[in-house]
Amino acid sequence: MLRVYNTLTGKKEEFCSLVPGKVSMYNCGPTVYDYFHAGNARNFIVFDVIRRYLKHKGYKVTFVQNITDIDDKIINRANKEKVSAESIANKYTDAFFEDLEILGITKPDICPKATEHILDIISLIKRLMDAGFAYQVDGDVFFEVGKFSDYGKLSKRSFDETEQCARVEIDKRKKSPRDFALWKSAKPDEPNWNSPWGKGRPGWHIECSAMSMKYLGETFDIHSGGQDLIFPHHENEIAQSEAATCKPFVKYWLHNGFLNINGEKMSKSLGNFFLVRDILKKFKPQVIRYFMMSAHYRSPLDFSDKSLAESGKALERIENCFDNIRRNIKDLDAPQKNTHIEWINKFEEAMDDDFNTASALGVVFDLITEINSLIAGESKDSAKLKLDVFNLETFCSILGILPSIEDKELDKDLLNLIEERTKARIKKDWQEADRIRVLLEERGVVLKDNPDGTTAWKRIKVI
């Protein structure tokens, strides 16, 4: 039974999706004004693994992650570089997808951009105006926090606390310092769109309410983000959405802990960040992923070259085991599922406990010990060993640390063969698919089919 920690209730709860067998999930995505840093990567990797695990549990997952492509930070950067906000947003959106791919993060099912949903945003603001939760001043529209009695329920902040936070920037036109912008009137030379309140652009919070509800419905299962988003971003999303619909917005709120440097949150504003692009010059993508999995997703995690190097060492033990398998086991056909579930139970016990990837890695290492000793013993071809290998691949694939070689390292004709096989599988021509699998295996390429497609890895030494 899967249990997840819900920030809303402050408890670990049994996970029970709104629609049996399906999970609707929204993760707050990047503001595209720069390359992403390791702190952002923690969020993207953690929720990629949670998504994979939910799929492994048999759920059909719809995963939405937005792109904030209009924002003060984007406009400031554009002004600095004397280019349009659009060109900054496009450049870093492309870079974002490139980095996701390098890190082996499965692309979200839907990646809505704020600028492509202006009409949805406007109609949600209109709904809030009609319901009396929003007011207009000089072309700006504000949400009236005092009208939403549940304000503070996610972040557990009292009225006074939320007011104190809001006093940082006082706008005298607001009825209360706690009120926040839904629509911002256009300033000279800023991108803007027509609206019933004049030209302007949307606020950040309303964008996520509008796009999540558009794609996942007015109530959905999981909303996630880093812990820094609990207040005010997610608190405001709840207020806007529930005020508009009178329905609960989200069932489970999941938040990842910070990636720190010397005990401080890694962030752009503090300047203590490392871009994923730069880290990749020294470490493999799987090392970064392993490192992120080495702690529970809600715990703080300290970033340093030393801890990445330690993750690299641990990952080597996993890679060595795969080498050992490739060198010693001839026939790697996947065994029948459900014949031996002892290891699956152990792995799931760890992951069912609020996605405890650190414990799950412990299970992976115990399994590796067993595989290595079975190979060293007399049972190189035993069914048990093959099942263990199958389980090891499955667990590493869920955790995103399966040693795979990048496509570009495969010869073109091998890639063509893989593509041919995919086509055959789509046509349900299993005979042809199997024929190609054998051909590939003869050339040292082992395939693993999973719900997101086929991963390939090449034996280092062909037997």
Of these partners, ligand AMP, Zn ion, none, which one is at the site of residue 208 (CB under 5 to 8 Å by kind)? Zn ion
Q: Does 265 bind ligand AMP (CB under 6 A)?
A: yes
**Least CB distance to ligand AMP at residue 200 (A):** 22
Contacts of 208 (CB under 8 A, 6+ apart): 26, 28, 66, 233, 237
**Least CB distance to ligand AMP at residue 303 (A):** 8
Distance CA 11, CA 345 (A): 24
Q: Does 208 bind Zn ion (CB under 5 A)?
A: yes
Q: Does 401 bind Zn ion (CB under 5 A)?
A: no
Q: Does 28 bind Zn ion (CB under 5 A)?
A: yes
Residues 24-83 that bind ligand AMP (CB under 6 A): 28, 30-31, 39-40, 42-43
Distance CA 20, CA 18 (A): 6
**Host H or E run for residue 71:** none
Phi, psi of 194 (to 5 degrees): -70, 145
By residue count, the chain amounts to 463
**Site size toward ligand AMP, by CB under 6 A:** 17
Our CB check for Zn ion shows the closer of 244 and 446 to be 244
Q: Is the peptide bond before 177 cis (omega within 30 degrees of 0)?
A: no
**Least CB distance to ligand AMP at residue 416 (A):** 38
Q: Which stretch binds Zn ion (CB under 5 A): 11-19, 23-31, 248-256, 389-397?
A: 23-31
For helices 342-352 and 357-376, angle between their N-to-C axes, nearest 10 degrees: 160
**Least CB distance to Zn ion at residue 43 (A):** 11
Contacts of 174 (CB under 8 A, 6+ apart): 137, 142
Our CB check for ligand AMP shows the closer of 280 and 332 to be 280
Report which of 200, 244, 211, 199 is spatially closest to residue 121, judged by C-alpha positions: 211
Of these partners, ligand AMP, Zn ion, none, which one is at the site of residue 152 (CB under 5 to 8 Å by kind)? none
**Which residue's Cβ has the minimum distance to ligand AMP?**
226
> Helices in 329-408 by DSSP H: which ranges?
342-352, 357-376, 383-399
- 179 near 142, Cβ under 8 Å? yes
Our CB check for ligand AMP shows the closer of 207 and 242 to be 207
Q: Which stretch binds Zn ion (CB under 5 A): 96-104, 120-128, 203-211, 270-278?
A: 203-211
The beta-strand segments (E) located in 257-316 are 259-261, 264-265, 301-302
**Least CB distance to Zn ion at residue 459 (A):** 43
Residues 215-244 that bind ligand AMP (CB under 6 A): 225-226, 228-229
Of these partners, Zn ion, ligand AMP, none, which one is at the site of residue 184 (CB under 5 to 8 Å by kind)? none
- 450 near 458, Cβ under 8 Å? no
> Using CB under 6 A as the criterion, which residues of the chain lie in contact with ligand AMP when the complex forms?
28, 30-31, 39-40, 42-43, 225-226, 228-229, 256, 258-259, 265-267
Binding residues for Zn ion, per CB under 5 A?
28, 208
